[in-house]
Amino acid sequence: MRQWRVGTFSMGGSLVLLGLFLFLSRFLGLNLANVMTAWWPILLVVLGVEILVYLVLSRSDKQVLKYDFLSIFFVGFLGMVGIVFAFLSASGIIGKVDEVMARENRSFELPAFSYQTDQNIKRVVVKTAGYDLSFEATDDKAVSAFGTYQVQTTKKEKWLKTADDYIAATKKGDTLYLNLKPLPDEVGPFDRHGTVAATILIPNDVLLEVNGSANSIALKPRSLENNWKIDSGSSIYVDVAPTSNVKISAVNVKEVSGKDGEWKVTEKTDSENSLWNNAVYQSGDGKYQINITNAYQVSLNSN
């Protein structure tokens, strides 16, 4: 009388087939997660074949049916691993993990932005969004923006297709409002983000107001013919020519730096005994003013 231990053949067949799958995946360049996802249903086929073989043989010979619990446990474990991989693949988690592992930093150019101005636009208001910005006065009668952005991605295609993807321009009365949009972002375990470095050209005869949102800002007034107001920046860098005709006022600033004697600094202490600085720099008659408020640091370059 022969004994049939159900599970032994299934375990052996499963190991052989799994080994073949893994061996071929090395030469065919198959993804391991995809192999595990596609392979596990074969376990059911192998186990079903074993049961059918037992039924056929049991008709011609007396068989004693026993179970090889270790083998059955092993086959079940492999099946569960396959099911888990299938679930993770169906939910997109495996795809995300593969993407994260393959990410690298890539730099792209910002789509060029240009808004033609006329005599009706007297003021430009800019609200930033985590960008490192440089504002520069220009003789052109247009507000324009250009620069680069860096993101972590596996693809060479650009995140930003047009200027509308990162900047919104709205004209109300005599004011042009520019709202910078944050880059697309992901939150959670697969978090990714990008950085932007942009230059915005402002007609030199237009009033500029900037909400810095605690970002780094560089100012290059050049041939400025109006006033600029910068509020709530972190590090403000101002590059002025010695022949310029500007007056720079820094109010509620933690630190000011530049050549000795350039700034006239007065200190004050708030209710929490925190030291703040008010500072003034003037070049020429100081006809046009750059007012900087609530910044952490203001650096001046007057070369």
Q: Is the pLDDT of residue 143 over 70?
A: yes
Nearest-5° Cα angle at 172, 171 to 175: 75
- Do 120 and 174 contact (CB within 8 A), yes or no? yes
Return d(Cα 283, Cα 298) in angstroms, integer.
16
Q: Looking at residue 1, what is its pLDDT?
A: 47
pTM above 0.85, yes or no: no
Please state, rounded to an integer, the average pLDDT across all residues of the chain: 78
Q: Looking at residue 265, what is its pLDDT?
A: 87
- Give the Cβ contact number of residue 240 at 10 Å: 23
| pLDDT tens-digit map of 23-54 | 666 666 566 556 656 666 666 676 667 666 76
The pLDDT > 70 percentage for the chain reads 59
DSSP three-state, residue 191: coil
- Do 19 and 42 contact (CB within 8 A), yes or no? no
Q: Looking at residue 161, what is its pLDDT?
A: 87
| pLDDT tens-digit map of 52-93 | 676 666 665 555 555 556 666 666 666 666 666 656 565 566
Per-residue pLDDT band at 207 (split at 50, 70, 90):
very high
DSSP three-state, residue 114: strand
Return d(Cα 155, Cα 102) in angstroms, integer.
10
Looking up tokens 């067949």 gives 13
